Structure formats: structure tokens, C-alpha cells
Amino acid sequence: MTKQLIFFRHGKSSWSTDYSRDRDRPVTERGIAAAKTMGKLLAGANKVPDLAITSSAVRARTTLDLARKAGDWNCLVEVNDDLYEAAIEQVLQVIHQVPAHHQSLMLVGHEPTWSDAVSYFMGGGTVRMPTAAMVCLEFEVSAWHQPDYGRGTLLWLLPPRLFT
């Protein structure tokens, strides 16, 4: 049995907009367009996850919302504060708590955590995730508490610039 895990980095966010906290930074027009493109792409490839868990940051939640609407995704969504400024251990805790009946999971969040997590699950190497990119890993496991270091196989990495 296999499980698929998609890491989705938030769309390009604004550094010039007036915001009180980093987690409040909005997505730029470029980020909006990229999120919509990736949402349609995932739907067209029939790879919409069963469950999507997003960081509580505005840019991550907005990216997921735009992708879902553009691709007409029908998946469950959760917001998790632990994915904002997360360490690998926090990402693992979130993944390990997902019920086994979900075959595919998407996590929406941030750099450098996403690149580090992909490298961790592949057992090494260097990965760079540009804004609004998606990476899909596959695990030969039956439950979400089993993914760990070196157990993931990279299926694809899709940066939005290839599709715009």
C-alpha cells in the first residue's frame, strides 16, 4: 500500500504591503495567478489530495483557497498553526496524526521547511522549492504514522513557471 504526500509552497507574497506580523503577509498578483495555475494543473492530472492541511499564515491559506477554487477541488481542509515556522519534527507530528484512511495528503506552507522536509523524506540531497511549487512524494506505508527519514520516493516537482 502507498500514501502520497504533496508539499505545496505558498504563492509569492508581498514584502511591501503594510502588515503587522509576518504571518499576515498577503499573496501578490503573481502569487494569485500561480496558485490558480497549480490548482487547475493538479485537478487536470487527477491528483487532488483527500486532505489538505495548511499553515495558519495568510499567504498559505490564500494559496490553498485559490488553488482549490480554480481546480474545483473537493477535499477536506484543515488549518494548523504548527506548520508556520515549523521544524521537521513539527511537520512529522502533523503528518503522523493524519488518519490512515486518507490516501493522499497535501501540506501547504513555507521555506526553508518544505525543501528541508522533502530532502529529509528522500534521505538526503538538495531540493529548492520556488513559490507556489508542488512536490509529491510516495511512501510504501499503510498508515500516516510510518513516513520517516529516507522512506519517501520523489514522484514529481512542479514549479508554476513551467505552466504559465
Q: Which of 94, 119, 14, 30 has the alpha carbon at shortest distance from 66? A: 30
Grid coordinates belonging to 105: 495528503
User: What is the rounded distance in angstroms from the CA atom of residue 86 to the CA atom of residue 105?
Assistant: 17
User: Domain holding 88: CATH number?
Assistant: 3.40.50.1240
pLDDT tens per residue, range 19-37: 767 788 889 999 999 999 9
The pTM of the full predicted model, rounded to 2 decimals, is 0.95
pLDDT (mean) for 114-137:
97
pLDDT (mean) for 116-136:
97
Whether the predicted pLDDT of 4 surpasses 80 = yes
Structural domain span for residue 48: 3-162
* Residue 46's pLDDT band (cuts 50, 70, 90): very high
Q: How far is CA 98 from the centre of its chain?
A: 15
pLDDT of residue 17: 61
pLDDT (mean) for 9-24:
80
Structural domains counted in the chain: 1
